[in-house]
Chains A and B, each alone.
Chain A
């Protein structure tokens, strides 16, 4: 790897490892100190490596530096407290040694994942903190990912850290009975995290892909651990693999969205499709049928390009089940699209008109598509309505292209 590629890569992977281990060693109340020491470590690396070149084992260099900085920090704290406060803020028990062994890194990351995805913190803040501490994203990048400013992100992270402190969230694996309930929140966060990358309006496709890959990496952490290697976790990872397999085929060289029907399936990542199939198979080794199972099932059928009756009947069935479990406008719209494929456009129009999602541009886009070739004048009216509701350039472009096709 070339030097200019190596550093950002190392920053991402090693930042998250060091930050997780330090958070774990210091305790949740010192989460910011852990982040600061990690940042300082990378700053030191940047200063030193620029002049002296990259050391033979960069990760070991970073670990040694982080360890020294942590030790120095605690010596200073201890001196301060011995002399001024007269007591130790950090008990010797909580700070013995910074253990950067592979096992402790994995354990710490997993425990931090559970701590960050605490039900007391709003989902957006959970994702923000996860991006910062578990994925090593800079504040700029997080702000870009959420299409917002640095200040908003800083405030959001600040409040989230406060909340973790107030709730005295422990950095540890929840106990047996608690784990299932907490795992639910962790999976929701990872699901939203992935979608943030997959569906976001962010122009930078490298950033979006990184978000998806990081969400997958964290989900994989759960699978590597015996306690959390549960069926619905495998289903979620299968879903992510299937979706991510189309990443390269979704945008043209100008960065414009290519719709599913127009995608070159040779660009679909076969390896990810195979991985997805593997995890879906793992997920099916029981009777549980979570929403992730259903969504992974749908995503599986989308990896088969050919339009067969079986494909659309299966997708319709899965959307039916998904909606019966939990309503969402997106699922309602997609179900209606599948219905058109199975029962024809007139039947789907009758059901679409009952959805009444009149503030949703996807709703009018769908109606436009359903009326196309049946009544092009009405199709045009629906597309125009969709256009007036669409907010992003990408969405507007997609609608215009459909109108041009009339």
Chain B
């Protein structure tokens, strides 16, 4: 078994949502994570990343507000799962409510071992 990082990429992540919508997403996320954890394949439930109060630091001390100045895509969070292959990890990723956003995506990356 290898470990895979599932990276959630959101479009328009900063968009405001209603508390009710938030509640539904949270519950769906918990159901999804619970399903992975029930297979003993959840390594870390990682963390969600806030879309507020962020900076991008570039060479020559250039600091800009937030990751959205040039691209609208931002990382919304990550989790780590255990799987036999990237395909199995991708299969798990399919159930994530993040994918309800039509332009959102989940990147599946194997954690390199040294």
Q: Which A residues have a C-beta under 8 Å from some C-beta of B?
A: 313, 316-317, 319-321, 323-324, 327, 331-332, 335-336, 339, 351, 354-356
Contact = CB atoms under 8 A, between A and B. Distances in A.
B30 A332 contact: no
B48 interface: no
A61 B18 CA distance: 70
A332 B31 contact: no
Contacts of A320: 30-31, 33-34, 37
Contact of A319 (B34, B39, B42, B45): B34
Q: Size band of the B side of the interface?
A: 10 to 19
Interface string B35-60: 10111101001000000000000000
A218 to B, nearest CB: 31
Given A317-B27, A324-B45, A335 B40 contact: no
Nearest to B79: A324
18 contacts: A316-B31, A320-B30, A320-B31, A320-B34, A323-B38, A324-B34, A324-B37, A324-B42, A324-B45, A331-B38, A332-B37, A332-B38, A335-B38, A339-B31, A351-B35, A351-B38, A354-B38, A355-B38
A319 B38 CA distance: 9
A78 B91 CA distance: 74
A313 B30 CA distance: 11
Nearest to B95: A351
A335 B34 contact: yes
- Top 4 nearest A-B pairs by Cβ distance? A320-B34, A323-B37, A332-B38, A327-B40
Contacts of A335: 34, 38
A contact face: mostly helix, strand, loop, or mixed? helix
A279 B42 CA distance: 31
A163 B8 CA distance: 50
A46 to B, nearest CB: 52
Task: Give the residue among A320, A321, A336 with the most B Cβ atoms within 10 A.
Answer: A320
Task: Give the residue among B33, B38, B42 with the most A Cβ atoms within 10 A.
Answer: B38
A317 B30 contact: yes
Contact of B39 (A313, A317, A339, A356): A356
A332 B42 contact: no
Interface in B1-47: 27, 30-31, 33-35, 37-40, 42, 45
B30 A321 contact: yes
A390 to B, nearest CB: 22
A320 B36 CA distance: 9
B37 A327 contact: yes
B39 A355 contact: yes
A68 to B, nearest CB: 57
A80 B30 CA distance: 68
B78 to A, nearest CB: 14
B33 A332 contact: no
Nearest to B34: A320
Contacts of A319: 34
Given A327-B38, A335-B34, 17 more contacts: A316-B31, A317-B27, A317-B30, A321-B30, A321-B34, A323-B34, A323-B42, A324-B33, A324-B34, A327-B37, A327-B40, A327-B42, A332-B38, A335-B38, A336-B38, A351-B35, A354-B39
A331 to B, nearest CB: 8
A115 B58 CA distance: 56
Task: Give the residue among A319, A321, A324, A336 with the most B Cβ atoms within 10 A.
Answer: A324
B84 to A, nearest CB: 12
Contacts of B40: 327, 332
B36 to A, nearest CB: 9
Contacts of A351: 35, 38
A339 B38 CA distance: 11
A355 B30 CA distance: 17
A316 B27 CA distance: 10
A355 B36 CA distance: 9
A335 B31 CA distance: 10
A190 B81 CA distance: 32
A133 to B, nearest CB: 37
Contacts of B27: 313, 317
A143 to B, nearest CB: 34
Task: Give the residue among A323, A335, A339, A356 with the most B Cβ atoms within 10 A.
Answer: A323
Contacts of B35: 351, 354
